[in-house]
Amino acid sequence: MIGGRYRLVGRLGAGGMGTVWKAYDEVIGREVAVKEPRAERVSDGDREVLFARLEREARAAAQVDHPSVVAIHDVVTVDRRPWNVMEFIRGRSLADVLAEGTLTPARAARIALMWPGAGRPGSGASEFPKGWKLQHKLGASLAVPGDYEAHVSPDAVAFQEHEGQVNRQVVLLRWDVPQGSAKERAEYFYREYTANKAFTDVRIVLFEVEVEGRRSTALTMTYRPVGGRLWRKSELFHNAGGELWKIIVDSAVTNELDTGADELFNGAVDTLRTS
């Protein structure tokens, strides 16, 4: 029984981020789906950061009201691990449908028309947080706070509240070292940051995100420059249109669970469009 309310009935499936169970809500008498997060290979400190992020993202997703998005009913924390309670839907997945053969153009179009707006923050309301504005730079667009100004170089742009600001700036890059897939690039920087002797108190989490309908990889890290204060870094690695895209947000924080700058990173990532 999860949260004294949701009785697990059976396992529906599993992926890289967790296991989904069919469950029964004993309070109001309905079937639900419950997602159990997975973090077996993550250290205790990184697990705290990851679970805090998952809970925050679930609560944000609960605000989305769209017929093509599964509704989030509840978030239950068990042993400091957030379980997402979702709408239970009977039917087949798109993968099941495609396994039967190629779709006709008409059927593919009917499916595609169900999705516009579903992946945007606050679908049915605004496309990005209130007070933010859409910026078009380097052949891409993304949203940043309305009082942030763009400082552009040939393959990079820094969005800052005032010029020279480092804390809580948003950086968009159209290049990266090394070359490779988003996952390969993220894993490279994971190794580099972990081995960097100029950093102490390093805790890093790699996770998958969806950007423009394709799978990308992101990194969240807390670290302390030798003799300095604690910082939090979030980076997106995204390949599109033959370009290596990257979003970076750095923020000074009070402790490892301080996720105050995550709204900046999430808003920029959710609204990034490269075509």
User: For the structural domain made of 1-125, what CATH number should be given?
Assistant: 3.30.200.20
Question: How large a percentage of the chain has pLDDT more than 90?
Answer: 44
**Lowest-confidence segment of 67-81, 108-122, 189-203 by average pLDDT:** 108-122
Does this chain's domain 1-125 share its CATH topology with 132-271? no
228 DSSP 8-state letter = S
> Residue 232 and residue 218: Cα distance in Å, rounded?
13
Q: CA torsion 173→178→182→188, rounded to 10°?
A: -120
Q: Judge contact between 58 and 84, C-beta under 8 A.
A: yes
Taking each helix axis as running N to C, give the angle between helix 44-61 and helix 262-271, from 0 to 180 degrees, rounded to the nearest 10: 60
Could you state, in order of their start, the residue ranges of all structural domains in the chain? 1-125, 132-271
- Direct distance between the N- and C-terminal alpha carbons of the chain, in angstroms, rounded to an integer: 46
CA-atom Rg of the chain in angstroms = 20
Does 24 have pLDDT greater than 70?
A: yes
| 53 three-class SS | helix
pTM metric for this prediction = 0.59
Strand order from edge to edge, sheet including 169-173 = 149-153, 156-160, 169-173, 243-252, 231-240, 214-225, 199-211
Please report which confidence band the pLDDT of residue 64 belongs to, taking 50, 70 and 90 as the band edges.
low
Q: Judge contact between 269 and 119, C-beta under 8 A.
A: no
> Residue 131 and residue 145: Cα distance in Å, rounded?
6
> Residue 187 and residue 189: Cα distance in Å, rounded?
5
Would you state the pLDDT for residue 121? 45
CB atoms within 10 A of CB 103: 15
> Residue 85 and residue 21: Cα distance in Å, rounded?
10
Average pLDDT of every residue of the chain = 84
For the record, the structure tokens of 177 come out as: 């070292």
Backbone CA torsion sign across 275, 268, 199, 155: positive
Fold of 132-271: Protein Transport Mog1p; Chain A (3.40.1000)
pLDDT in tens, 175-205: 998 899 999 999 999 999 999 999 988 889 8
